[in-house]
Amino acid sequence: MNTNYLELINEILSGSLKESEVLEFKDYKFEDGKFNSLDSKNMNTLMKEICSFANTDGGKIILGIAEDENHNPTKISDTGVNVENFETCEQSFRNKIATKTIPAIYGVKLHHLNVADNNCIIIDIPRSFLKPHAFDDGEHKFYTRNGNESRPMRYPELKNNFLALDSSQRKLSSFRDERISSILNGEVDDSLSTVPSLIIHIYPENSIDPTTYIDLKQYEHNSKIDIFNPSGYHGQPYYNANGLIKVRNTYRHPFSTYIQMFPNGVLEIGEKYLLTYDVDDDQNLIYYWDKLEEIMAQKIYQYCIELSSALGYNFYIWYTLLNVKGHYSRTSNWGDVSEPLKQNIIKSPIIKWAINESYSRSMLPLFNNFANIFGSRESWLYNDNEPIEEKFNFMNKA
């Protein structure tokens, strides 16, 4: 049992904690633990409340608290969702969030809590940087939190939210372009300005907030925030103008791989060695693309999980291939290679992953794009867009 949530419920029942801009409670019952058994009126109210929290400062909705006629909490009521059916209920909830909120709200977490033999559900909603989110009941309606109530957004609020959304999206694109420019200008290392390299960026959503700051010292010897390749090698840490950097140098490949951590928690991963594979003195040959994407899948997951405790559960992820025109990859063990790449700089789409959402499904667009670059119609991590389970076994070991 989560002690903090139990204390929260006890404070509510004692009357010392009221509904507010960040707290709401409902007396909802789910027949046989089925989320979709909730009647349409209460379902719409719940979706509206979730949007209003995400559009304001986030908050918690507690299901399983009964109220009197004056809306004062009186007792714990059972939601009907127990330990056995919670996972099924949670999946139905996520499907509803995906279809009833526009854009879909990421990072909402559900917790099951048993209090005095009654089953409660705590819905934890983060403040969203993709706001405003609309609730779709046939029309798109925008709500915000005002005290202990959710009310429709006024035009000035809606306008300001859309302006802030545009600013956040431009911030991601600007960061990407500025970093690519810096790398190509030799500001990270001179060799990266001309040599083929893979650059991966992981941008925690909370890092969009200009006040976000983390203590880089705690990551100096953190084995989970290590270099991209080879596995188990952590890299030599030191500090530069951009924060903390860990580097691996080899005799043939100075600055062969690095990981840069910025003070706001953003990660930049650079890999040069596997992009200059030069087997049999073929300087245009890079590493097997399918093996490279397997390393990418594992490392991205590892980095995000490690960052989540300090920077929340939502991440923007993308990669960029630099200086790759004319290069190609092995596509089989029999010496087959892809067609030479036609572009010098190749940018992936920016995808978003929330830790409580499926990693393998969220990453599908990213890895399919990587496969397309090397002439394959689909990532080797998937079969007909369905994740191959054994390819993602690393998640069970993280």
**Does position 1 have pLDDT exceeding 50, yes or no?**
no
Q: Share the mean pLDDT of the chain.
A: 90
In degrees, rounded to 5, the angle at the alpha carbon of residue 362 between the alpha carbons of residues 356 and 363 is: 125
User: What percent of the chain is predicted at pLDDT more than 70?
Assistant: 97
pLDDT digits (tens, 9 = 90+) for 132-189: 999 988 889 999 999 989 999 999 999 988 887 778 888 899 999 999 999 999 999 9
Q: How many Cβ atoms sit within 10 Å of the Cβ of residue 43?
A: 17
Tell how far CA 314 is from the center of its chain: 3
**Does position 351 have pLDDT exceeding 70, yes or no?**
yes
Model confidence, pTM: 0.76
Give the pair of three-digit tokens for residue 13: 């029942």
Local confidence band at 271 (pLDDT 50, 70, 90 cut-offs)? very high
pLDDT digits (tens, 9 = 90+) for 371-397: 999 999 999 999 999 999 999 999 987
DSSP bridge pairs for 251: none
Local confidence band at 365 (pLDDT 50, 70, 90 cut-offs)? very high
If you ran DSSP here, which 8-state letter would residue 337 be given?
B
**Are the C-beta atoms of residues 113 and 37 closer than 8 Å to each other?**
no
Residues with Cβ within 8 Å of residue 173, at least 6 apart in sequence: 350
pLDDT digits (tens, 9 = 90+) for 46-101: 999 999 999 999 999 999 998 877 778 888 889 999 999 999 999 899 889 988 99
**Structural domains of the chain sorted by starting position, each given as residue range(s) with its CATH number in brackets:** 3-153 (3.30.950.30), 168-396 (no CATH)
**Does position 281 have pLDDT exceeding 70, yes or no?**
no
